[in-house]
Amino acid sequence: MLNQIIQEMLPRIEEELRLVIEATARPHSAQLSGMLRYHLGWEGEGAGPEAQGKRIRPLLVLLSARAVDGKWEQALPAAAAVELIHNFSLIHDDIQDQSTVRRGRPTVWVKWGIAQAINAGDTMFTQAFWALNRLEETVSPETALEASRVLQQVCLQLTEGQYLDLAYEQVDFLSIEAYWPMVSGKTAALLGGCMELGGLCAHATPNQRESLREFGENLGLAFQVLDDWLGIWGDAALTGKSTESDLVSGKKSLPVLYGLANSEIFSQRWRRGKITSEEVNDIAGILRECGAEAFTLSTAEQLTQKALNALTSAFQDDISQASLLSELAKQLLSRKS
Amino acid sequence: MLNQIIQEMLPRIEEELRLVIEATARPHSAQLSGMLRYHLGWEGEGAGPEAQGKRIRPLLVLLSARAVDGKWEQALPAAAAVELIHNFSLIHDDIQDQSTVRRGRPTVWVKWGIAQAINAGDTMFTQAFWALNRLEETVSPETALEASRVLQQVCLQLTEGQYLDLAYEQVDFLSIEAYWPMVSGKTAALLGGCMELGGLCAHATPNQRESLREFGENLGLAFQVLDDWLGIWGDAALTGKSTESDLVSGKKSLPVLYGLANSEIFSQRWRRGKITSEEVNDIAGILRECGAEAFTLSTAEQLTQKALNALTSAFQDDISQASLLSELAKQLLSRKS
Helices and strands, number each (H, E), in chain B: 19, 2
B324 φ, ψ (degrees, to nearest 5) = -70, -35
Handedness of CA B184, B185, B191, B197 (dihedral sign): positive
Q: What is the pLDDT of residue B226?
A: 96
pLDDT over 70 percentage in chain A? 98
Query: Nearest-CA residue of chain B relative to A162?
Result: B119
Task: Give me the residue from A26, A96, A116 closest to B157, CB to CB.
Answer: A26
Q: Comparing B178 with B239, which gets the higher pLDDT? A: B178
A102: β partners:
A105
Q: What is the pLDDT of residue B242?
A: 59
Mean pLDDT of A180-209: 97
Q: What is the pLDDT of residue A335?
A: 73
Distance CA A143, CA A137 (A): 10
Task: Determine contact, residues A182/A165, Cβ cutoff 8 Å.
Answer: yes
Identify the band that residue B336 occupies on the pLDDT scale cut at 50, 70 and 90: low
Element (H, E) at B105: strand B105-106
Q: Do A119 and B152 touch (CB under 8 A)?
A: no
B293-311 pLDDT, tens per residue?
999 999 999 999 999 999 9
Q: What is the pLDDT of residue B335?
A: 73
Chain A residues whose CB is inside 8 A of the B165 CB are none
Nearest one of A148, A43, A151, A143 to A89, comparing CA atoms:
A151
Distance CA B78, CA B86 (A): 12
Query: Nearest-CA residue of chain B relative to A96?
Result: B115
Tell me how close the Cα of B154 comes to any Cα of chain A, in angstroms.
10
Query: Nearest-CA residue of chain A relative to B115?
Result: A96
A101: β partners:
A106
Chain A residues whose CB is inside 8 A of the B146 CB are none
- Name the DSSP letter for residue B44: S
Query: Nearest-CA residue of chain B relative to A136?
Result: B145
Least confident of A44-53, A325-334, B127-136, B188-197: A325-334
Q: Do A114 and B114 touch (CB under 8 A)?
A: yes
Task: Give me the residue from B116, B156, B166 closest to A126, CB to CB.
Answer: B156
A113-169 pLDDT, tens per residue?
999 999 999 999 999 999 999 999 999 999 999 999 999 999 999 999 999 999 999
Whole-number mean pLDDT of chain B? 95
pLDDT over 70 percentage in chain B? 98
Whole-number mean pLDDT of chain A? 95
DSSP state string for B157-212:
HHHHHHHHHHHHTT-S---GGGHHHHHIIIIIHHHHHHHHHHHHHTT--HHHHHHH
Task: Determine contact, residues B220/B212, Cβ cutoff 8 Å.
Answer: no
What's the one-letter identity of residue A168? Y
Tell me how close the Cα of A190 comes to any Cα of chain B, in angstroms.
14
Asked if residue A336 has pLDDT above 90, the reply is: no
Q: What is the pLDDT of residue A212?
A: 98
B167-203 pLDDT, tens per residue?
999 998 899 999 999 999 999 999 999 999 999 999 9
A229-244 pLDDT, tens per residue?
999 999 877 765 656 7
Instruction: Write the burial class of residue B70 (CB in 10 Å: 0-12 exposed, 13-18 middle, 19+ buried).
Output: exposed
Mean pLDDT of B55-61: 98
Mean pLDDT of A4-20: 98
Mean pLDDT of A52-58: 97
Chain B residues whose CB is inside 8 A of the A152 CB are 126, 129-130, 133
B102: β partners:
B105
Distance CA B326, CA B305 (A): 11
Give me the domains of chain B, ranges plus CATH numbers. Answer: 1-204 (1.10.600.10), 206-331 (1.10.600.10)
Rounded to the nearest 10 degrees, how much is the dihedral formed by the CA atoms of B79, B85, B86, B91? 140
Asked if residue B337 has pLDDT above 60, the reply is: no
SS (H, E, C) chain A: CHHHHHHHHHHHHHHHHHHHHHHCCCCCCHHHHHHHHHHCCCCCCCCCHHHHCCCHHHHHHHHHHHHHHCCCHHHHHHHHHHHHHHHHHHHHHHHHCCCCEECCEECHHHHHCHHHHHHHHHHHHHHHHHHHHCHHHHCCHHHHHHHHHHHHHHHHHHHHHHHHHHHHCCCCCCCHHHHHHHHHHHHHHHHHHHHHHHHHHCCCCHHHHHHHHHHHHHHHHHHHHHHHHHHHHCHHHHCCCHHHCHHHHCCCCHHHHHHHHHCHHHHHHHHCCCCCHHHHHHHHHHHHHCCHHHHHHHHHHHHHHHHHHHHHHHCCCCHHHHHHHHHHHHHHHCCCC
Task: Give me the residue from A24, A129, A159 closest to B148, CB to CB.
Answer: A129
A106 φ, ψ (degrees, to nearest 5) = -60, 140
Cα distances (Å, whole numbers) of residue A305 to A207, A222, A315, B286, B302: 19, 9, 16, 76, 68
Q: How many CA atoms lie within 13 A of A262 on its CB side?
A: 17
Residue A106 neighbours by CB distance under 10 Å: 16
Q: Do B92 and A119 touch (CB under 8 A)?
A: yes
Task: Determine contact, residues B122/A160, Cβ cutoff 8 Å.
Answer: no
Distance CA B78, CA B231 (A): 32
Least confident of A123-127, A258-262, B182-186, B272-276: B272-276
Tell me, yes or no, if A157 comes closer than 8 A to chain B by beta carbon: yes
Tell me, yes or no, if A99 comes closer than 8 A to chain B by beta carbon: no
Tell me, yes or no, if B168 comes closer than 8 A to chain A by beta carbon: no
A163, A165, A179, best to mutate vs chain B, most B CBs in 10 Å: A163
- Name the DSSP letter for residue B316: S
Instruction: Write the burial class of residue A121 (CB in 10 Å: 0-12 exposed, 13-18 middle, 19+ buried).
Output: buried
ipTM: 0.96
Tell me, yes or no, if A96 comes closer than 8 A to chain B by beta carbon: yes
Q: What is the pLDDT of residue B235?
A: 84
Q: What is the pLDDT of residue A172?
A: 84
Chain A residues whose CB is inside 8 A of the B118 CB are 92, 95-96, 118, 121
Tell me how close the Cα of A181 comes to any Cα of chain B, in angstroms.
7
Distance CA B242, CA A116 (A): 30
Q: What is the pLDDT of residue B26?
A: 97
Task: Determine contact, residues A196/A314, Cβ cutoff 8 Å.
Answer: no
Asked if residue A205 has pLDDT above 70, the reply is: yes
pLDDT over 90 percentage in chain A? 91
A44 φ, ψ (degrees, to nearest 5) = 85, 175
SS3 B97: coil
Chain B residues whose CB is inside 8 A of the A115 CB are 95-97, 166
